[in-house]
Amino acid sequence: MPDLASTFETSMVDMSTINSADNSSDGYLFEEILSMENLSNLCMDDDDLPCHFQTDSGALACVGCGILGFPLMTVVQPSERSLMELLPANHHLPPDSSPDLNSSMHGSVSSKEVKRNQIPASHDKPINEHTPNGEGFEVPIELSAADLYDPVPLDAELHEDAQIVEGNNREINPCSHLPVEQRCEYPRREHAEVLDEVISDSEKQHQDQNENKIGEEPAPSYVPKGEPKSLSISKVIWSKKKNGTEVHLSRGKREVGGSELATPAPSSNSGKKRKREAEWITKDSFSSYGFARSPCEGLRPRAGKVARDKSTNAVKTLEPKMARKHPDVLVSHKNKKVVKGSHKCDIDGCRMSFKTKAELKLHKRNRCPHDGCGKKKFSSHKYAMIHQRVHDDERPFKYPWEGCSMSFKGAWTRTEHIRVHTREKPYQCKFEGCGLSFRFVSDYSRHRRKMRHYVK
Amino acid sequence: MPDLASTFETSMVDMSTINSADNSSDGYLFEEILSMENLSNLCMDDDDLPCHFQTDSGALACVGCGILGFPLMTVVQPSERSLMELLPANHHLPPDSSPDLNSSMHGSVSSKEVKRNQIPASHDKPINEHTPNGEGFEVPIELSAADLYDPVPLDAELHEDAQIVEGNNREINPCSHLPVEQRCEYPRREHAEVLDEVISDSEKQHQDQNENKIGEEPAPSYVPKGEPKSLSISKVIWSKKKNGTEVHLSRGKREVGGSELATPAPSSNSGKKRKREAEWITKDSFSSYGFARSPCEGLRPRAGKVARDKSTNAVKTLEPKMARKHPDVLVSHKNKKVVKGSHKCDIDGCRMSFKTKAELKLHKRNRCPHDGCGKKKFSSHKYAMIHQRVHDDERPFKYPWEGCSMSFKGAWTRTEHIRVHTREKPYQCKFEGCGLSFRFVSDYSRHRRKMRHYVK
DNA sequence: CTTTCTCTGTTTTGTC
DNA sequence: GGACAAAACAGAGAAA
DNA sequence: CTTTCTCTGTTTTGTC
DNA sequence: GGACAAAACAGAGAAA
Ligand SMILES: [Zn+2]
Ligand SMILES: [Zn+2]
Ligand SMILES: [Zn+2]
Ligand SMILES: [Zn+2]
Ligand SMILES: [Zn+2]
Ligand SMILES: [Zn+2]
Ligand SMILES: [Zn+2]
Ligand SMILES: [Zn+2]
Ligand SMILES: [Zn+2]
Ligand SMILES: [Zn+2]
Ligand SMILES: [Zn+2]
Ligand SMILES: [Zn+2]
């Protein structure tokens, strides 16, 4: 990656050190870093564009460069522990082992997809999840949500592993925490949108307005390189191939003929784009261990994520922005604040309690009694309960990826964070002649609003 | 009214002074007080219950006692001026005098009533209004609403005076600002709910729970006493008549036979009730002029109403509770604050402008940029505009009744205030066996919620 | 102004 | 249709 | 706790 | 159906 590497400055690490890194590293974040066996999945080509591969669990990852906020990434497998935190406790129980949790309960897997703006894909399943979002399957832990309101029922039939989605594109499922013979056969993800260096015609069109053209050569397309040696299941290395013709580039254009998509438009702004991100990588992409950091280490610090001590660079427990001192609050070892109020809510399904009668009264009217919220009213009591999570420190939604220490208060945020790793851009503008793709709903939404790209 | 009068203390005025008052009184509030001619409509019976009468304009009024927050009331007619402030400027123009404002515009009179919880009455029209609420007909004045957003179109065909509602109960219309020959023939109001001393069986039932019975004698019912001498049009004096049989007491029970209603249940708590209100009257019911005050003078001070100087008892201009100092605000002689912003909103129909770009940005997102509102968001831009009235001092909705100096920022508040004068209780609970009546939606709503008196 | 990404109250979808 | 929960959305907004 | 009454953001109704 | 305005509602809350 010459053009990128040339922008690195002081802490620049020779790419060879990445490949030769051992897994005896025991830094706070890297204690489960993988062996050279997995690192051999790194793309070692010497071109100037990043390469992507797919791991056992079906996720796509790029190694060896930091383009587009996707910094040096280690090849990792989700640990069994992290997956267990994501999935329900009795996930994958044999169908008859839990008579009380049968398929008549909510939570049994649906055959329909719940998507709205996202590009529908016939074989699109979220990474490491059997339910797209997963909010309902948060496992209550002691002094956790279960103490405040009824735990969400768990479902032994959570996913019917036998269910096979249409098509011949199937690959091994992402249930890598299980013995191979118990894994579900989920189709693997498509990879096209993941390669966000491939800029569509319309995106180029937009960006040409503000940026100088740097080159006119066509952007590369990507083709599967074949099965790598050291990963046991479903590993494909994607290498780029200039002017390639074998690719299915965009999920959003599945109906379009291959020839139309085989040669994407030149990425006229790739130089500037890469420059900007290279600067960022230069500052942050490498840990002091001289080894690639976790996928999200290179990202800018954001609220509610991995906080880091400025001097030691060690991960520290996140503090809420306006940490309010509640003398009547106990913080459990799981960071869940428990209000020890004697005024209990008797609304069906709610176990919240409050210190004062006035607070309870507000709560029962679906208003937050918390000082900072100004008696804000919500549309339901259910959400009034859920809202309380903004006031405690628990972040029960983990991103189950080795080396990513992100966790979230809600499932949707995690769902979108996963795209930071997959580089997926599932939102494609349907406006005539636009076709721009977006990674986050919000950006897609804003695009439509500002451009008035409303359709139908 | 012996039992009531006996509780009066220092400022008690002999009832005879009320009747002998002349209309040369020029106190701030009483400069248009009526002559003896109209005062002769006072009920002069010497029983202990208040009496009601109906004026030319169809409204009911009680004179001579202050029971139930209905203190000493003068007999008044709405002045032409006050009605003109209520009605559109071109109200009652000949149908062809205003070619641009024809019946195809909104605002033409509907033959259907817009009521929901209110007891439907076949001949129920709001006092002095041709549209029930009147919000849409606020007349823009200079530097008024018209400066901020498009004025509501006025409609020459505002009311089809020829329209006669069903029934034989018609009386002269309330358009007393017009020559008699031009008045519409609106049916007069029914009077039953107006007499809120008549406590229904179910209301008694509720109240018996908390109060001692004082007497068992049946409450009086009311019958029209006939046409009084001095009022020219449609004046009826209602006098009470113990065990009377000729009345139609309750609009909510219109379908019920007369015999069932002829003898209302005894008002077991009238003693206590009257006691409480008599205390209030004792303190406040009489102006220093030794004359009956305006209908609302005797009411407790409320937000946004007639404020009074503690020492002089003179009406003073109301100040908003949290008068915020805006250096960029001009107050017109009509109390309308005009924000002299250079950042103008270009949303269709909106003429608001703001000092800063940030404020405009908030406003365009339907948020209030005012400090005290905390970027509160509204459901529409239209309402975001309307909301701004909470921040200025204009109160364009006047209550067009002589001696009542109340004014409001919205039409609904005025609609409900009118009931303070009419004593109307148009909301009757439909729950099996309840039947309680309420004057204000809010109270009816609360009753249903707390009692779970939901029906159908 | 931009892009990237997280947070959150409501809306939509889907199931029963 | 209804109730309910999960998923998705549509902003808002932080960061650089 | 009560009753009386006003304020206000949203929902419902009605018209075109 | 839609858009729009007027009316009505459903709370919240002040006052005593
Ligand atoms: Zn590469
Ligand atoms: Zn599985
Ligand atoms: Zn609760
Ligand atoms: Zn809160
Ligand atoms: Zn991550
Ligand atoms: Zn577009
Ligand atoms: Zn009397
Ligand atoms: Zn008229
Ligand atoms: Zn505007
Ligand atoms: Zn405001
Ligand atoms: Zn009044
Ligand atoms: Zn009731």
Could you say which residues 327-366 of protein chain B have a Cβ atom less than 7 A away from any atom in strand F? 349
Band of the pLDDT at B327, cuts 50, 70, 90? very low
Structure-block tokens of residue B165: 């509602």
Ion ligand 9, residue ranges at CB < 5 A:
B 345, 347, 350, 352
Q: How far is the CA of B280 from the C1' of F15 (A)?
A: 13
| pLDDT above 60 (res A441) | yes
Q: Is the CB of A308 under 7 A from strand C?
A: no
Give the tens place of pLDDT for each residue, B130-139: 457 777 654 4
| pLDDT above 60 (res B157) | no
**Which bases of chain D are contacted by protein, using any atom under 7 A from a CB?**
5-16
**Cα A18 to middle of ligand 5, angstroms:** 19
Mean pLDDT of chain A: 51
Predicted local distance difference test score (pLDDT) of residue B264: 38
Q: Is the CB of A27 under 7 A from strand D?
A: no
Q: How far is the CA of A275 from the C1' of F10 (A)?
A: 57
Structure-block tokens of residue B243: 């065990």
Q: Of B180-184, B268-272, B378-382, which range is least confident?
A: B180-184
| pLDDT above 70 (res B443) | yes
CA distance B182 to A200: 73
Could you say which residues 10-39 of protein chain B have a Cβ atom less than 7 A away from any atom in strand E? none
**Which bases of chain F are contacted by protein, using any atom under 7 A from a CB?**
5-16
Q: What mean pLDDT is predicted for residues B181-209?
A: 37
**Cα B364 to middle of ligand 10, angstroms:** 13
Question: What percent of chain B is predicted at pLDDT more than 70?
Answer: 27
Is the Cα dihedral A21, A22, A27, A29 positive or negative? positive
pTM of the entire predicted model: 0.54
**Cα A428 to middle of ligand 6, angstroms:** 8
Predicted local distance difference test score (pLDDT) of residue A405: 87
Could you say which residues 168-227 of protein chain B have a Cβ atom less than 7 A away from any atom in strand F? none
> Pick from A53, A295, B390: which is nearest to A305 by CA?
A295
**Cα B207 to middle of ligand 11, angstroms:** 28
Band of the pLDDT at A131, cuts 50, 70, 90? low
CA distance B165 to B113: 11
| pLDDT above 70 (res B212) | no
Predicted local distance difference test score (pLDDT) of residue B295: 52
> Pick from A193, A194, A188: which is nearest to A70 by CA?
A194
Residue nearest to nucleotide E2 (CA to C1'): B210
Predicted local distance difference test score (pLDDT) of residue A337: 62
| pLDDT above 90 (res A413) | yes
Q: Is the CB of A134 under 7 A from strand D?
A: yes
Point out the ligand nearest to the CA of residue B370. 10
Ion ligand 3, residue ranges at CB < 5 A:
A 345, 347, 350, 352
Predicted local distance difference test score (pLDDT) of residue B105: 29
Band of the pLDDT at B342, cuts 50, 70, 90? confident
Q: Is the CB of A207 under 7 A from strand C?
A: yes
Give the tens place of pLDDT for each residue, A187-230: 223 333 333 444 344 444 444 444 333 333 333 333 333 333 33
Question: What percent of chain B is predicted at pLDDT more than 90?
Answer: 16
Q: Is the CB of B128 under 7 A from strand F?
A: no
Identity of the highest mean pLDDT range in A57-66, A104-113, A415-424, B182-191: A415-424
* Helix spans in B161-232 (H): 201-208
| pLDDT above 90 (res A56) | no
**Cα A117 to middle of ligand 6, angstroms:** 13
Structural contact between residues B70 and B81, judged by C-beta atoms closer than 8 angstroms: no
| pLDDT above 50 (res A371) | yes
Q: Is the CB of A132 under 7 A from strand D?
A: yes
**Cα A361 to middle of ligand 3, angstroms:** 9
Q: Is A343 helix (H, G, I), strand (E, B) or coil?
A: strand
**Which bases of chain E are contacted by protein, using any atom under 7 A from a CB?**
3-16
Identity of the highest mean pLDDT range in A326-340, B211-225, B254-268, B421-435: B421-435
Residue at A82: amino acid letter: S
**Cα B273 to middle of ligand 12, angstroms:** 21
Euclidean distance between the first and the last CA atom of chain A, given in angstroms as a whole number:
44
Q: Is the CB of A202 under 7 A from strand C?
A: no
Q: How far is the CA of A276 from the C1' of C2 (A)?
A: 12
Strand duo A51-54 + A407-408: pairing: unpaired
| pLDDT above 90 (res B388) | yes
Predicted local distance difference test score (pLDDT) of residue A304: 47
- Could you tell me if the ipTM is greater than 0.85? no
Euclidean distance between the first and the last CA atom of chain B, given in angstroms as a whole number:
44
The structure tokens 């209301």 sit at: B203
Rg (CA), chain A: 24
Nucleotide minimizing C1' to CA distance for residue B300? F15
Q: Is the CB of A110 under 7 A from strand D?
A: no
Identity of the highest mean pLDDT range in A72-86, A172-186, A391-405, B25-39: A391-405
Neighbours of B292 (CB within 10 A): 29
**Cα B434 to middle of ligand 12, angstroms:** 5
**Cα A206 to middle of ligand 11, angstroms:** 62
Structural contact between residues A43 and A64, judged by C-beta atoms closer than 8 angstroms: yes
Half-sphere exposure of B426 (CA within 13 A, CB side): 22
Predicted local distance difference test score (pLDDT) of residue A173: 26
Q: How far is the CA of B280 from the C1' of F16 (A)?
A: 10
Exposure string of A20-43, with b = 16+ CB inside 10 Å and e = fewer, is ebebebeeebbebbbeeebbebbb
Nucleotide minimizing C1' to CA distance for residue B414? E6
Structural contact between residues B10 and B56, judged by C-beta atoms closer than 8 angstroms: no
Band of the pLDDT at B332, cuts 50, 70, 90? low
Residue at A275: amino acid letter: K
Band of the pLDDT at B300, cuts 50, 70, 90? low
User: What does the H/E/C string look like for chain B?
Assistant: CHHHHCCCCCCCCCHHHHHHCCCCCCCCCCCCCCCHHHHCCCCCCCCCCCEEEECCCCCEEEECCCHHHCCCCCCCCCCHHHHHHHCCCCCCCCCCCCCCCCCCCCCCCCCCCCCCCECCCCCCCCCCCCCCCCHHHCCCCCCCHHHHECCCCCCCCCCCCCCCCCCCCECCCCCCCCCHHHCCCCECCCCCCCCCCCCCHHHHHHHHCCCCCCCCCCCCEEEECCCCCCCCCCCEEEEEECCCCCCCCCHHHCCCCHHHHHCCCCCCCHHHHHHHHHHHHHHHCECCCCCECCCCCCCCCCCCCCEECCCCCCEECCCCCCCCCCCCEEECCCCCEEECCCEECCCCCECCEECCHHHHHHHHCCECCCHHHCCCECCCHHHHHHHHHHHCCCCCEECCCCCCCCEECCHHHHHHHHHHHHCCCCEECCCCCCCCEECCHHHHHHHHHHHCCCCC
Mean pLDDT of chain B: 51
Q: What are phi and psi of B207, to 5 degrees?
A: -75, -25
Q: Is the CB of A398 under 7 A from strand C?
A: no
Structural contact between residues A72 and A92, judged by C-beta atoms closer than 8 angstroms: no
**Cα A158 to middle of ligand 2, angstroms:** 9
Q: Is the CB of B377 under 7 A from strand D?
A: yes
Residues with Cβ within 8 Å of A323's Cβ and at least 6 positions away in sequence, in order, are none
Exposure string of B80-110, with b = 16+ CB inside 10 Å and e = fewer, is eebbbbbbbeebbbeeeeeeebeeeeebeee
CA distance A87 to A152: 13
Which H or E run contains B221? strand B221-224
Point out the ligand nearest to the CA of residue B385. 9
Q: Is the CB of A106 under 7 A from strand C?
A: yes
More confident residue, A328 or A165: A328
**Which bases of chain C are contacted by protein, using any atom under 7 A from a CB?**
2-16
In sequence order, the β-bridge partners of residue B238 are B52, B224
Predicted local distance difference test score (pLDDT) of residue B336: 62
